[in-house]
Amino acid sequence: MAVMDGLGTVELNLTRMSAPPALHRLAALLSGPCGCYTENMILELADIRIQPGQQAAFEEAIERGLSTVAVRAKGFQGAKVNRGIENPERYVLQIFWDTLEDHTVGFRESPLFAEWRGIVGPFFAAPPVVEHFELAFKSA
């Protein structure tokens, strides 16, 4: 069963038997340390809009980018990808980092970022809106 959050997005149900193989591989990636967001961890939130009709190809590409590129970045702790319900061309990417600098300097200023953008960038309808967050509260 998929879980709907207050933003009207649904977390991809990555364990359903009918899910494409790329989503099963992403489920394995997402079952790592990002399952428990610690108070010192940084959350990168990227609001991504893709070209219409490219959802399946984008989901394969983002899974590939996370599992082959992002995982090699220092401080990368895991990621989650949510697809919009009302707007299926909208995705919310959450990446968990040890520090802000692991993302803004270590990843963004490294060759890995160009490799990442080469995989996912062709699908973007506009540049993603990216912000960073620190934990303020976590439910039990």
Residue 21 in domain: no
Q: Into how many domains does the chain fold?
A: 1
Please tell me the pTM assigned to this model.
0.74
Q: Which domain holds residue 42?
A: 28-134
Q: Decide if pLDDT at 57 tops 50.
A: yes
DSSP 29-75: HHTSGGGS--TT-EEEEEEEEB-TT-HHHHHHHHHHHHHHTGGGSTT
Residue 15 in domain: no
66-113 pLDDT, tens digit each: 999 999 999 999 999 999 999 999 999 999 999 999 999 999 999 999
Q: How confident is the model at residue 40 (pLDDT cuts 50, 70, 90)?
A: confident
Q: What is the CATH number of the domain that holds 91?
A: 3.30.70.100
